Amino acid sequence: MPVAASFDQTGAWIISQHGLKAGWARNISADPRVRIRQGQRWRSGIAEFRPEDDVSTRAAGFATSRLAAPLIVSGFRALQTDPISVRITFTE
């Protein structure tokens, strides 16, 4: 499933725009072991839902500049129904 991700040294953040109802979110609930592509490299990790995370703030972090952040947040809002942040912690 294609996703937008924000990577850091220890993992990645993604947003499930349809919350736990999304098919891939149900897959994570069944088995949190995932693989995500970072550039040309596939990374293994463990995914977990973070309901306490502020999705709007997280979405703004996906922007490449401060000027783009409001547009990114608006785009996420327009497409979401029940968003939840997902943290993937790399296991390699």
**What pTM value is reported for the model?**
0.79
Q: Are 1 and 24 in contact (CB under 8 A)?
A: yes
Q: What is the pLDDT of residues 36-83, one digit of tens each?
A: 999 999 999 999 999 999 888 887 777 667 776 677 667 766 666 788
Q: How far apart are CA 68 and CA 80, in angstroms?
A: 19
> In this structure, what token pair is assigned to residue 69?
């952040």
Place of tokens 């790399």: 90
